[in-house]
Amino acid sequence: MSDTGYEIKGWCPGALRPMMSGDGLVVRVRPFGGRLRRAQADGIASLAAAHGNGFLDISSRGNIQIRGVAEARHGALIEGLRVMGLIDPTPEIESRRNIIVTPFWNKGDDTEILTTALTQALALPDMPELPGKFGFAVDAGANPVLQDASADIRLECDAGGGLILVADGMKRGKPVSLDTAVPEAIALADWFSQYKGTATRMKAVIAAGAEPVGHIVPRQKGTFVPKPGYTPNGAIVGLAFGQMSVETLSTLAKHGSLRLTPWRLILVESARILPVIEDVITDPSDPLLRIIACTGAPRCAQALGETRKLGSTLAPHLAAHQTLHISGCTKGCAHPRSAPLTLTAQKGGFALIKDGKAGDTPSVSGLSPDELKDYI
């Protein structure tokens, strides 16, 4: 335990290196290219039903977590995932393959080519050693959509449609081509390794004044707002708190392959019309989409309070413009950034933080769950 009151692990759980939580192991699967083929999605649902607690989470990096896995079942689960092509050769490669991908790609386009090349490059043995949460974003559509998602090295397009390499935290990028983009991205990761000192993220290195050479092209300012609806690539649907049952995953897989996003939304490939599916949100104005809540008690061992049931109770009271983060402790896993309103569970009630993070100084403390609707 640190003096923050929660345990700092400094690494993210994977499938090969799972994390123990209050309800068993959390096994986080990183779909290659951010996509699950229908058979893979259905297979994960079956494996989660057999070895987990029947619930799955979509993470803020577009991964899918199987929860509640007993240690004795981990081997069988991994074997099942490996058969479906969802497991990396080693835990080190799995950890490095931290890539988020725009869901708006088409077969054979730059995003798909770059994602494949980056995945292959990160599996090579001579890669720089990178901190556990260090990641990449491939966002090569005409307009970037991942600028608010956490990534240290980005590939995106400038206003003229040219591909640029971006060190997170910089307003300009380095022009690259389809051939040079991945080698340049690896070189930038190497540059980070040399300049990072004690920093674990690119943004901190840039904020400290270091600047890679050749980053001269202005970035576009993304205006994309993720929400459920139909797109040329398929139907985007939401999940309350990014959580779903194995039945829901299995049903979604019947309608198409799934692209997982960092917004806890799923794009169902090529779907035009979806029937009503239990727990699936299709109304972009549903207030549950504006509430972020971590696992909380009792499933997280570090939680000081329940979060998701509380989120469902508070949703009808949330004003149309409001977003709310509910955190089971000051760590703020589900949303490590500032939010207009945050409720953090603490011993003896909830703390309300305005325009801050879960661990920031609250404006009010010791609120009971019944009082909270009067404060949001």
Could you say which of 332, 349, 356, 359 contacts ligand SF4 (CB under 6 A)?
332
Q: Which is nearer to ligand SF4, 111 or 302 (CB)?
A: 302
Whether the Cβ atoms of residue 101 and residue 115 lie closer than 8 Å to each other = yes
Whether the Cβ atoms of residue 144 and residue 220 lie closer than 8 Å to each other? yes
In whole angstroms, how far apart are CA 214 and each of 137, 182, 352? Answer: 19, 16, 44
Only segment of 49-57, 88-96, 211-219, 328-336 that touches ligand SF4 (CB under 6 A): 328-336
CA distance linking residue 253 with residue 266, whole number of Å: 11
**Residue 105 touching ligand SF4 (CB under 6 A):** no
Residues 193-212 as b or e (16 or more Cβ within 10 Å = b): eebbeebebbebbbeeebeb
Considering the complex, what minimum distance in angstroms separates the CB of residue 172 from ligand SF4? 34
Q: Which amino acid is at 337?
A: R
Burial 160-176, CB ≥16 within 10 A → b, else e: eeebbbbbbbbeebbbb
32 binds ligand SF4 (CB under 6 A): no
193, 15, 202: which is closest to 94 by C-alpha? 15
Among 95, 98, 295, 342, binds ligand SF4 (CB under 6 A): 295
CB of 348 to ligand SF4, least distance (A): 16
Q: Which stretches of the chain are DSSP H helices?
A: 38-51, 74-83, 91-96, 110-122, 181-195, 202-207, 246-253, 308-314
Stretch of 166-174, 190-198, 253-261, 322-330 lying at the interface with ligand SF4 (CB under 6 A)? 322-330
Based on the shown chain and the rule CB under 6 A, indicate whether residue 329 belongs to the binding site for ligand SF4: yes
Stretch that binds ligand SF4, among 56-64, 153-161, 256-264, 294-302 (CB under 6 A): 294-302
C-alpha–C-alpha distance, residues 134 and 132, integer Å:
6
Name the minimum Å distance from CB 6 to ligand SF4: 5
Q: Which residue is nearest to ligand SF4 (CB)?
A: 328
Q: If binding is defined by CB under 6 A, does position 331 make contact with ligand SF4?
A: yes
Bridge partners, 293 (sequence order): 326
Residue number with CB closer to ligand SF4 (144 or 296): 296
Q: Which is nearer to ligand SF4, 6 or 350 (CB)?
A: 6
Beta carbon of residue 224, minimum distance to ligand SF4 (angstroms, whole number): 27
Binds ligand SF4 by CB under 6 A, chosen from 300, 310, 339, 351: 300
b or e along 43-71 (b: 16 or more beta carbons within 10 Å of the residue's beta carbon)? Answer: bbbebbbebbbebbbbbbbbbbbbbbbee
Binding status of residue 138 toward ligand SF4 by CB under 6 A? no
Choose the binding region for ligand SF4 from 110-118, 121-129, 196-204, 293-301 (rule: CB under 6 A).
Answer: 293-301
Min separation Cβ 333 and ligand SF4, Å: 3
DSSP category for residue 178: T
Provide the minimum distance between the beta carbon of 203 and ligand SF4 in the complex, in angstroms, as a whole number. 21
103 part of the interface to ligand SF4, by CB under 6 A: no
Closest-CA residue to 306 (of 329, 324, 323, 338)? 329
Contact between 185 and 195 under an 8 Å Cβ cutoff? The reply is no
Q: Indicate the SS3 state at residue 256.
A: coil
Contact between 328 and ligand SF4 by CB under 6 A: the answer reads yes
User: Binding ligand SF4 by CB under 6 A: which of 327, 346, 356, 357?
Assistant: 327
Nearest-CA neighbor of 137 among 171, 165, 159?
165
Task: Based on the shown chain and the rule CB under 6 A, indicate whether residue 243 belongs to the binding site for ligand SF4.
Answer: no
Q: Tell me: does residue 59 bind ligand SF4 (CB under 6 A).
A: no
Q: Which residues here bind ligand SF4, judged by CB under 6 A?
A: 6, 294-296, 300, 302-303, 327-329, 331-333
